[in-house]
Structure 1
Amino acid sequence: MSVITQKQIRKSNDQLKQFVQKVFSKHRDLERNFISSMNSKMNTGVYAIDDESGVVVVATTHQSTWHPHCVYVRLAYDFNRVNNGSLHLMIDKLKEQIVQPLFFLIDNRFEGLDEVLLNKGMRLIRKTEVILIRPRKCEVLTNGRKVKAISEISNEPILMTSLFELCKRTYTETHLDNPVGDFPIASWEGIIMEDMKEDNSYVVINENKVIAYSFMYPVDARNWEIGWIGTQDRTEMNLLDLLISKQLKDAVRSGIKTIEKEIDSTCPFSMHIVESLTYEASETWSAFMSKIEVMESFTAKKEIVDHE
């Protein structure tokens, strides 16, 4: 069993893509994500493990502007034939080649990979359950709260700045293991507002300040997705129930079939709303990352690499 070098990889990218297409022939979403990483401008490398029969495992790595403190890894292999030895060898090679912490996001199809990652010193930092909500008619009780759609406040800079600052704070606080980069509010605005359904995204306002929010985004003509949610004070997470009730009412009126929501184990706001929702679990993802001491030594190592 051997590792194919970067030089060899550059000569055989098409062959590796064919391998990925073959092993993921029944998992087109995994194929799309893998090829997207290979083709990305942020790609940092492609690696492969082979044996006497040919390629058995391929890895593609890329960086993220939004989360710049790690390298994202995607693996491709035949779920029915790969052996743990190949996976161990691949992860060892990645740890040798890459200075930054490694980040893996896998679902239940990667059976046994979680144990390999834990054995190699990775830690489970988050579980994400994707749920599907069937919109239903429900009573909306504002209890005297001031609720506005984003479309109603989009031209009010004080409120919108308050909103983006709250979004930045809540997102940062729920992504401590894989920290977000340092970006100005304008960057947060661009990410948050892109494709948002402003008539179906709501905030609670108190004294000219946003104290709770829930944003809706389109998936297709019959399906929506709840994206960013949060509150200024975690003792008032019940405000999210009010906002989501309004969104469910909108969805019924619009003939929407399902509403998707990602429930992160590190997000108290997501964990709160599932307590009052009826839903179907669609899929579950697990995020693994190199141990924190790797991140702490990253700066010093990078200085050495940069000066070689």
Structure 2
Amino acid sequence: MQIHRNVKQEDVGLFVEKVFGENEDLIRNFFASMRSDMNEGIYSVENVNRMVVAASMHCNIWHPYCVYVRLAFDFNCVDERAIQFMIEFLKDEVEKPLFFLIDNRFRGLGELLTRKDFRLIRKTEVININPKSFLSVKDDSDQEIITVGQILNDTVLLSSLIKICKKIYTETHVDNPVADLSSLSWKNVILDDLIDSSSYVVVNENNVIAFSLMYEGEENSWELGWVGVENSDEMTLLNLVLNKQLRDANEQNIKYIEKEVDSTCPYSLHIAKSLSYDVSETWYAYVQT
């Protein structure tokens, strides 16, 4: 069994397309890692002169303290020994901890990673929310609820929104820490593809105390992104803003709203408990200890 560094993208690409077959999302993710400007290396394991495992590593600007790994192998003919060989090799290749994000298609890999000193840090369910699942909330609240579109030119409130988004995202990603980036970087990522007319904030004087941000999705769908409250005792504020978003979605005949629900995010978990939905994907994040 041999391992190779600096493998040609073309050779690995053919292997990835072959073993992943109809799993187009996995092919897309692997190719994105190989072609990334922050790629850290492309590797393969050969057994009896044929490739059995491929790997691509890349870094991430937002989470710079780990190295992300994409693995590819034949799900129908898993060579566990070759996978272990690859993992042990990659652990010695870089100084930073390795990070894997896998789903149930990689059956057995989570158990293998656990045996190799990796820890499960997060479970993420991708859910499809039915826009007709209105929440039971009173509409007579005296809270000031406005759209993000209404605060885009208000530097104080927009700054408050950026601050609370950064705080909550940082607090819910402790095991894979966030980089110390500028407010402008946060602003850009928050507002990119934002539907500002259906993204809402709850305002108290000059502070945003709750928010729920909606983004463009695939055809006839939206994506519910950043959500949170300043005070965890006021989770019901999310119900108020989400109810408005569900009404907006119905008015525009949106078929479903996609939301990533992280096990480390109490705000997303609150939303999941409050609505009817279908789970489309489940992902597991492992980090080297």
Displacement of 1:15 in angstroms is 1.4
Counterpart Cα distance in 1 of 2:31 and 2:67: 16
The 3-state SS of whatever aligns with 1:283 is strand
Structure 2 partner of 1:109: 105
Displacement of 1:48 in angstroms is 0.7
Structure 2 partner of 1:43: 39
CA RMSD of the aligned region, Å?
1.1
The 3-state SS of whatever aligns with 1:220 is coil
Structure 2 partner of 1:5: 5
Counterpart Cα distance in 1 of 2:219 and 2:33: 28
Counterpart Cα distance in 1 of 2:10 and 2:184: 39
Does residue 21 of structure 1 match 2:17?
Answer: yes
Counterpart Cα distance in 2 of 1:157 and 1:183: 19
The 3-state SS of whatever aligns with 2:53 is strand
Counterpart Cα distance in 1 of 2:125 and 2:53: 27
Structure 2 partner of 1:132: 128
Structure 2 partner of 1:65: 61
The 5 A counterparts of 1:262-301 are: 262-291=260-289
Listed one character per residue, the Cα deviations across residues 169-220 of structure 1 (whole Å, up to 9, x for unaligned) are 0110000000000012111001100010000000000112100000000113
Counterpart Cα distance in 2 of 1:54 and 1:250: 54
Does residue 94 of structure 1 match 2:86?
Answer: no
Name the amino acid aligned to 1:238.
T
Name the amino acid aligned to 1:61.
M
The 5 A counterparts of 1:207-226 are: 207-226=205-224
Q: Gaps spanning 5+ residues in structure 2: where?
A: none
Counterpart Cα distance in 2 of 1:45 and 1:144: 55
Contact 1:142 1:242 in 2 (8 A): no
Displacement of 1:137 in angstroms is 6.6
Counterpart Cα distance in 1 of 2:42 and 2:57: 6
Structure 1 partner of 2:165: 167
Counterpart Cα distance in 2 of 1:18 and 1:220: 28
Name the amino acid aligned to 2:273.
E
1:181 maps to which of 179, 193, 214: 179
Displacement of 1:274 in angstroms is 1.1
Structure 1 partner of 2:156: 158
Displacement of 1:107 in angstroms is 0.4
Contact 1:137 1:249 in 2 (8 A): no
Contact 2:42 2:54 in 1 (8 A): yes
Listed one character per residue, the Cα deviations across residues 53-89 of structure 1 (whole Å, up to 9, x for unaligned) are 5000000000001111110000001001122111110
Counterpart Cα distance in 1 of 2:145 and 2:9: 53
Counterpart Cα distance in 2 of 1:89 and 1:76: 14
Counterpart Cα distance in 1 of 2:116 and 2:219: 44
Name the amino acid aligned to 2:3.
V
Counterpart Cα distance in 1 of 2:120 and 2:133: 38
Contact 1:108 1:285 in 2 (8 A): yes
Q: Gaps spanning 5+ residues in structure 1: where?
A: 292-308
Which of the two has greater helix per residue?
Answer: 1
Q: Relative to 1, partners in 2 of residues 1:82 and 1:137: Cα closer, same or farther, differing over 3 Å? A: closer
User: TM-score if structure 2 supplies the norm length?
Assistant: 0.97
Structure 1 partner of 2:191: 193
User: TM-score if structure 1 supplies the norm length?
Assistant: 0.91
The 3-state SS of whatever aligns with 2:174 is coil
Q: How many pairs does the alignment contain?
A: 287
Displacement of 1:161 in angstroms is 0.5
Displacement of 1:4 in angstroms is 1.5
Listed one character per residue, the Cα deviations across residues 6-50 of structure 1 (whole Å, up to 9, x for unaligned) are 3xx1xx321111001101111011001101110111100011111
Listed one character per residue, the Cα deviations across residues 128-150 of structure 1 (whole Å, up to 9, x for unaligned) are 00000111173762511100001
